[in-house]
Amino acid sequence: MGQVALRINGRNYEITCDDGQEEHLKEVGAYFDSRVRELAGAVGQVGEGRLLVIAGLLVADELFDAKQRLAGRAEEQAREQAGRATEQQARDEEKLATRSLDEAAVRIETLARKLAEA
């Protein structure tokens, strides 16, 4: 297990993480610290616990918004793929209809020739 020392709002925290995740945790911790300090600058020191909860909620809100945007993009891509599939199906149906008409035309011409010969 890895161990990372984080400094959040001027206080040190020792956090355990999976091996290899130390740098990522440092980045996440630095981001969270910047959000906490930004919030503290805006509202003042309202108590460390309350400040950390509010900052956590702000970061969770960012995550929630990002998930919604991602879900929206996924839905948009699904609609585009469905549209492309529908367009391909229409092209395939058009080809089938054209082929059927061509075959019918050949049969009609053949019948017309036989009638003309009779």
Residue labelled with tokens 């945007």: 69
Considering only 6-15, 33-42, 87-96, which range has the smallest mean pLDDT? 87-96
Q: Domain spans of the chain?
A: 2-117
Mean pLDDT of the chain: 88
State yes or no: pLDDT of 82 exceeds 90.
Answer: no
Asked if residues 15 and 4 have their Cβ atoms less than 8 Å apart, the reply is yes
pLDDT band for position 23 (cuts 50, 70, 90) = very high
Q: Outline where DSSP puts E strands in the chain.
A: 2-8, 11-17
Note the pTM of the prediction, 2 decimals.
0.60
Q: CA 39 → CA 92, 93, 95, distances in Å?
A: 59, 60, 63
pLDDT band for position 110 (cuts 50, 70, 90) = confident
Amino acid 98: pLDDT = 84
Amino acid 68: pLDDT = 93
